[in-house]
Chains A and B, each alone.
Chain A
Amino acid sequence: MATKPLIQARQVIKNYDDFRAVDGVDFTVQPGECFGFLGPNGAGKSTLMKMIYCCSPRGGGELSIFGQDPDKSPAQIKNRMGVVAQTDNLDEDVNVTQNLQIYGGYFGIPRKTLNEKIQELLAFMALEAKATAGIRELSGGMKRRLVIARALLNDPDLIILDEPTTGLDPQVRHLIWAKMRELKAKGVTILLTTHYMEEAHELCDRLLVMDKGKVLAMGKPDELVKNNLPAYVLELPGIKKEEVPLTGTLQVELHGDKLFVFAAAPSELEKVALQFKGQLRIRTTGLEDLFLKLTGRDLHESE
């Protein structure tokens, strides 16, 4: 691509005392792209996001956002950015509209413009009916939508969402996805972390899978799956690895108590399925399989 990248990260590092939370991460994000980060809890996603939204100084490497260095021009960068942090951080003692008014002040948005923008965003996030509601009256999904609305007050060129839909019901999740697509259509660049493979698949042009602070894989969702896994998989609950003879293109992975048998053709898996008299649960491989393969350990030691 000829355009200048909006975010450029080279060998980015973050240390907390002796612990390295982000360990030499490289990636670039192009303007208008929706770029997703996948990884188990503790992988370093939030830490990386915080470095990008200039709330955590990096421990090494190079990082530029809008062509600027977060260490040198944090205010300039944050002025053009919207942030939805992993933990909701609304002002609980004032109502929905006042939350937005207060936050708009941090961008120096003039009163009149701000109030118009607030009306527009409350409508955009389907919160008009809650304009004067207190924060404690809101459901988890409404709070999240309000935090997203708040992140859009300054018409950001880049919006960073750290697990925007974790713990929300499917309706809210689909609403948020629809809004993200609208923003993307307007040319807003989106950075997203998520634990939902469906979300990653629906929204993201490219994904980065990370664990223990390191990049494991990066690319377009479908290509990532295609390049790393055979096309089909059979799930066998309660079967041990040794029980499946590895013939042909067969590969096995154990996650929890479930054995995943992969193969390039469904016919190979049918034979295995017959051997165990299990129900035929053969399907095409997806992001979740890839995620488990790349980050899977039988017991995640950081949990």
Chain B
Amino acid sequence: MNPNNPRPVPGFFRLVGAVWYRHYRVYQNHFTTNSFPTVIEPLILMLSFGWGLAQVVGNSMGGLDYLSFIAPAQAMMAAVYTSAFDESYGTYFRMMVDHNYDAMLSTPVSVSEVFWGELLYTGTKGAFFSAVVVAVLSCFGIIHSFWAVLVPVVGFFTAIAFGSLGLFAARLVKNINQFNFFISGIISPLILFSGTFFSLERMPAGPALVAKVLPLYYFIDVSRMLTTGHFTDDLYIAIPYMVTVPLVMGFFAVRNMKAKLVQ
């Protein structure tokens, strides 16, 4: 017996960091393997839209050429997909198949540290992949401003928001097939109606307002300001939204996981 164990209990941020590090080590190879589709997808979209749709659309989206219009949205889509998948399917597997959370939770790590660590990690990935997309697209001359270096910051918050949605899905599904509802029913519509491929000005006012409140519109809006260098007054809403909403969503997602894991 070692009655005066000298090692103090690590603090919240230290443990969040330990969980982040775990994901970084375990999924390190994902950065390289997942980078491939992250690079390829925008390239394919550029080719397809560049040859086809872009010529029809012309400069009708907020006065921008179409490829410049969708470029920032693609950076955000990379962040959305990586985080939504990681925190839904990934969490489900860690929870039900590999029992990784059981391992973490039998150490000083608590449920909030587990999932804040995960969200921080998914945010990191979101930042990384949106940076990759911006880098790729800048080769096509459709990134017009040096402010675009800040797009990964937006990607970070986008990924935390969508990672939180993924966590809700992971909590709710009864089996792996039900994730299809999450992807087709929630993620896809959010991507299609958030000023991604067309400007919200083209939607009726009511639906447009709804689309603006839902997560993603403002993330794309800010990214577009950064890649075009054309800033609007929206910035005063978008910046607080971008920081607050993911944290609030994260807070509820983590609380929700507590109810699932502590039984």
Contact = CB atoms under 8 A, between A and B. Distances in A.
Contacts of B105: 55
A225 to B, nearest CB: 29
Interface stretch (A88-96, A227-235, A252-260, A275-283): A88-96
Interface in A64-109: 74-76, 78-81, 83, 85, 87-94, 98, 101-103, 105-109
Given A157-B2, A188-B1, A107 B107 contact: yes
Interface residues of B, number: 33
A154 B98 CA distance: 23
A32 B3 CA distance: 11
A134 interface: no
B102 A87 contact: yes
Contacts of A188: 1
B1 to A, nearest CB: 4
Contacts, number: 102
A148 B26 CA distance: 20
Interface stretch (B14-22, B75-83, B138-146, B153-161): B14-22
Given A107-B7, A157-B2, A102 B26 contact: yes
A53 interface: yes
B213 to A, nearest CB: 37
Give the interface size bracket for A toward B: 35 or more
A189 interface: yes
Contacts of B46: none
B121 to A, nearest CB: 13
Contact of A89 (B9, B18, B100): B100
Contact of A92 (B1, B98, B263): B98
Q: What 7 pairs across the A-B complex have the smallest Cβ distances?
A: A108-B10, A105-B18, A106-B107, A83-B106, A89-B99, A89-B103, A75-B108
Interface of B: 1-3, 5, 7-10, 14-15, 17-19, 21-22, 25-27, 29, 98-100, 102-110, 262-263
Given A89-B102, A106-B109, A108-B15, 15 more contacts: A31-B1, A55-B102, A55-B106, A57-B262, A74-B110, A76-B9, A85-B99, A87-B99, A87-B102, A91-B25, A106-B18, A106-B104, A154-B7, A155-B2, A155-B5
